[in-house]
Amino acid sequence: MSYSQLDRPVQFLKGVGPKRADSFAGLGVTTARDLLYHVPRRYDDASTVEPIGHLEVGMDVSAVGRIRSKGILPTRRGLRIFQAVLEDDSGMITVAWPGQPWLDRKLREGDTLLVSGKVRFFHGRQLQPREYTVLGRSSTGGSESAIGSGAGMIFVSYPATEDIPQWVLRGVFEKNLDEMLTWADDDEYVTQRMKVEHGLPSLRDSLAWLHRPETMYEAERGRRRLAFDELFFLQLVQAQARRKAIEERPGISHRRTNELIRPMHEALPFELTGAQARALREIYADMRSERRMNRMLQGDVGAGKTAVAVFAMLLAVEGGYQACMMAPTEILAEQHARSISSMLEPLGVGVTLLTGSLGAVERRAMLGSIASGTARVIVGTHALIQDAVVFDSLGMVVIDEQHRFGVKQRMALLEREGPTPDVLVMSATPIPRSLAMALYGDLDLSLLDEMPPGRTPVKTALRSPDRRPAVYDFVRSEIAAGRQAYIVYPLVDESEKVNLLSATREYERLSSEVFTEERVGLIHGQLAAGEKERVMREFLSGDLDILVATTVIEVGIDVPNASVMIIEHAERFGLSQLHQLRGRVGRGVAESHCILVAEPGEDALERLTVFRDTTDGFEVARADLRIRGQGDLFGSQQHGRDPALRFADLLADEDLLVEAQQEARAIIASDPDLQREEHVQISNHLHARYQHRLTMYGVG
């Protein structure tokens, strides 16, 4: 990418210099571009700012004024209060910061402040700010209160530090913004067609509105254009990965004969839901095309993903190909093998189970049947991707709980000679559609957003720790009725850093003091794999009444007899994780219960109340994203200059995400290598700022 003026180090901007540049680096600002894309943290609409002379006791207000005088007021109790008198053209008011005498060194007479807080009566009117912003510095030779506010209607506040406070940022923007906006033309990649089709303003206008809006509408319009940019480049990388996955190697055009699919459908003891039927239409359309399927099937626990996967595997088998399903654990693989066998046995189709614990003789026999093509449907663990496993004609791969496998593990089944099998990855972790598109834009998405009729929702209750004896009594009553229970803790062992119960210590207490007549087991992530398998088998077979656990059990085993899930310190878990844990019960015919034991604060109470009152996994996931925020969505995928979503809000901007994905896929479909003249700038941006993500997907 050719050099742009925006690439110049920030130290060469007016009002910065080498010394201040070191402090700017603490804000993540090292170039002019970094400064131009420094995201405002708040806008204050001056039309809502009250004149100081109009302020009355009881009002919750924002006001702007100059510091007329200031000082520290000591009290009899030793508390030192910093006070300042603010004035504007309408009057004066005392502003007080109890216990913050250090502000006397930070604020100067003549400074212009924006303050927000409640007006109270204390020897006259007084305002104690929740927050304040220095809009202008007295030593600059005049008020800078209008900096970043256009006609003085909108005040912009930025993330700042003690070394680079607001007034410094505002001064640097005031001196450099106009020039940086002209340089921004070098960053413009949006074509005139894209501007018209998506209603996008120019980059220069968007950045001007971001930093110097005259109305809140302008500020929001600028943000949405920059949000589109983030989402577009994210989707562009994934569109290239998607194209490579489905088009670079020959796929299989599966033939449907209905030799197996029709009798399977007729033998089902239930009707497919509308969501299952829709997902199957999407999957079959992919499989019958010449392009390789690369699709995710996402649905809540109990939504019927396995049935859909079996129908998809049968399409491959009807055409003479093999189909396999890979699960993350042996127990889950065995569980799938049993359920799929019961569905396919009436059709005369056998299921071969391949796991790492098979004996040598049995393993050789299994490998032989897979290599010869005798085995048509194969279920297994990561043992399926070992070099010794040779398929005769693999045409379809289903990967269950796909997030439990590394990328290399998932791809190993596909990196074989000959036509590339179709791929269906399944996830029982409901996430909002927008988040799924952001994280898995390289996959086509099918959603099972409808539950089969007759499924009884799990009853969820919220209890305080002092109710534990009653909770334990309830567990005993369920066990007496022949049921089983999970008790989940956030920690494996006790920690000096946090005062939380741990699975190991509580297992000892519960088994020796509380549930002395019941059979109690312990499982957590630090146990050896063989030990975890042994404990889970004991619980599955009914040899254990209670399983004390960590979140290691949130995905996987299906124990229909388990009817109680107790989650200790529930406030420490995210809503989606709580939902996964709740999904471990309610899998049989008995009424099931999830009991949250927590001491929630106000924020946690909101989350847990939402969870208690909501059984739809997708609604839970949306609430989790709304309450907890996006955070670091991409986890370890974020590296170096690979930017996170700083402007985009996946819930508020779902429409932008849909448009960005459609645009990115259309461009890659028509110009895969971005060689056309109108796409050169897009290509430059992509490789300059998103190279790590390109490399991660193997397309850079």
CA distance 209 to 151: 12
Residue 78 belongs to what domain range?
A: 49-153
Element (H, E) at 245: helix 216-247
Q: Is 337 contained in some domain?
A: yes
Span 640-668, pLDDT tens digits: 334 568 899 888 898 999 999 999 999 99
DSSP 3-state of 111 = coil
Q: Is 368 contained in some domain?
A: yes
Asked if 682 contacts 189 with a C-beta cutoff of 8 angstroms, the reply is: yes
pLDDT of residue 414: 60
Angle of the 680-689 helix axis to the 216-247 helix axis, nearest 10: 90
Of residues 601 and 218, more confidently modeled: 218
pTM for the whole structure: 0.73
Whether residue 698 has pLDDT greater than 80: no
Q: Which domain-ending residue is among 584, 614, 644?
A: 614
Whether residue 639 has pLDDT greater than 60: no
Q: Is 654 contained in some domain?
A: no
Q: Residues 499, 472: one domain?
A: yes
When pLDDT is cut at 50, 70 and 90, the band that residue 599 belongs to is: confident
Asked if 552 contacts 539 with a C-beta cutoff of 8 angstroms, the reply is: no
Q: Report the CATH number that the domain containing residue 427 is assigned in CATH.
A: 3.40.50.300
Q: Residues 396, 509: one domain?
A: no
Q: Residues 391, 433: one domain?
A: yes
Structure tokens of 290? 């010449």
Whether residue 344 has pLDDT greater than 80: yes
DSSP 3-state of 372 = helix
Q: Residues 439, 464: one domain?
A: no
Q: Which domain-ending residue is among 550, 580, 614?
A: 614
Whether residue 389 has pLDDT greater than 50: yes
The label of the residue with tokens 């974020």 reads 638
Q: Residues 132, 276: one domain?
A: no
Q: Is 355 contained in some domain?
A: yes
Q: Residues 358, 416: one domain?
A: yes
Q: Which domain-ending residue is among 448, 468, 493?
A: 448
Q: Is 172 contained in some domain?
A: no
Span 276-315, pLDDT tens digits: 999 999 999 999 998 889 899 988 877 889 999 999 999 9
Q: Is 139 contained in some domain?
A: yes
Q: Residues 434, 379: one domain?
A: yes
Rounded to 10 degrees, what is the CA torsion of 20, 21, 27, 32? Answer: 130
CA distance 146 to 135: 8
Work out how many domains the chain is built from and give that number: 3
Span 538-562, pLDDT tens digits: 998 999 999 999 887 766 567 889 9
Q: Residues 278, 344: one domain?
A: yes
Query: How many other CB atoms are there within 10 angstroms of residue 106's CB atom?
Result: 12
Q: Residues 270, 368: one domain?
A: yes
CA distance 35 to 44: 21
Q: Is 551 contained in some domain?
A: yes
Share of the chain above pLDDT 70, in %: 91
The residues, ordered by sequence, that sit 6+ positions from 55 with a Cβ below 8 Å of its Cβ are 61, 63, 91, 93, 119, 125, 127
Q: Is 695 contained in some domain?
A: no
Span 1-46, pLDDT tens digits: 456 899 999 999 999 999 999 999 999 999 999 999 999 988 877 6
The strand pairing partners of 115, in sequence order, are 63, 132
Average per-residue pLDDT for the chain: 85
Q: Residues 492, 602: one domain?
A: yes
When pLDDT is cut at 50, 70 and 90, the band that residue 133 belongs to is: confident
Q: Report the CATH number that the domain containing residue 140 is assigned in CATH.
A: 2.40.50.140
Q: Residues 510, 388: one domain?
A: no
Q: Residues 477, 437: one domain?
A: no
pLDDT of residue 288: 94
Q: What residue type is 603 in one-letter code?
A: D
